[in-house]
Chains A and B, each alone.
Chain A
């Protein structure tokens, strides 16, 4: 797979050439220019495989001094063949063995003559080794740092969604009265389950892709961003928009989300309800209200205040119903007494009652 490695190397090389020549934009791919802006942090691109892939996410090594740029010249021309505007600045002068013949490219003469260094296959090998090693180091660095803060596999569970799940879940959030079965599917299957570090024997909920009742973080995150943008639009319609408002909206919404989750955690502790809900589950369930809020803001924009209140009532009730039904199976009392059951009921009602309150709080501000 010399060819594959050469292909992978070329993006690295194109970046290095860009960074040193600093010239025109590459028309075909926009990704390398992202690495051009200062020291772009690695790993913006999340790939779900464990092997290092063609590197958009890797840290570019420091640009070599210009006379060495001739290193990569003949292997770099392969990607420039299809690009009429890019830095096809170097005349291909040397065909390394194993590469197919590419059509010659019309290009301008570079300002310096990129020596004949790469005619030497030993130098070529060394350059590829260097690139490979740096790439490996970059990936390793990223993985270590990321795993320090956030458990990678745990979060991946919440984003394992597909289109069918998203569609069904959105329908469920907006109209939950038609659903019959609210229980989660559990499995001890290694493939489908959420990775658990401490208790590998316990059966865990199936990934959201396989069960429409499982919580996910994709919908809340997307709904949150959409809600912020929609509030910006609503403010603009009311002629009250400034860009700072977006920041204020975002931080306010985040603060209320945090407050709600802290209140929920506190209430769980006080009522002594041991639930299987983890923190991220609570974040997911608290984040589902943004879907309703989007619909509320939209109808408030379209149908002014009557539509706003009707939508608030409808979607508030729908979300409360959805949460009560979903959490019914997941909140268990520690002691199976009547006291425990009563507390569980109060907890459910408390959670459900918070939703319309927050929905109202966060949407009334943008609709005047």
Chain B
């Protein structure tokens, strides 16, 4: 049974994390999330974040706001790395 998962290194964890962050950052608020009622303008209660959905919307928004810049840099680095070193 040893051939199934041949172990993850720490680098594959980093890659997985990077891909997840990318996935969160490409969600478009108006075109996509608004259809599900997940965008931040659609909420009426004054205090965000009380419900689980509010927390998630908050999380998505903050990740998008904070990580868009650094993610561009990190993505470019990883792309160059993969191109050059395979």
Using CB atoms and an 8 Å cutoff, list the residues of chain A in contact with chain B: 235, 240, 248-249, 251-252, 254-256, 258-259, 269-272, 335, 339, 343, 364-368
Contacts and interface: CB of A to CB of B under 8 A. Distances in A.
Contact of B52 (A258, A271, A366): A271
A251 to B, nearest CB: 5
Given A251-B10, A255-B8, A335-B50, A365 B59 contact: no
Given A259-B13, A365-B1, A368-B1, A251 B52 contact: no
Interface residues of B, number: 18
B26 interface: no
Contacts of B5: 252, 365
A252 B55 contact: no
B59 to A, nearest CB: 7
Interface of B: 1-2, 4-10, 12-13, 49-52, 55-56, 59
Nearest to B1: A368
14 contacts: A248-B9, A251-B7, A252-B8, A254-B10, A255-B9, A258-B13, A270-B52, A271-B52, A271-B55, A339-B51, A343-B52, A365-B5, A367-B1, A368-B2
Contacts, number: 46
A251 B51 CA distance: 36
A365 B4 contact: yes
A235 B7 CA distance: 14
A76 B50 CA distance: 70
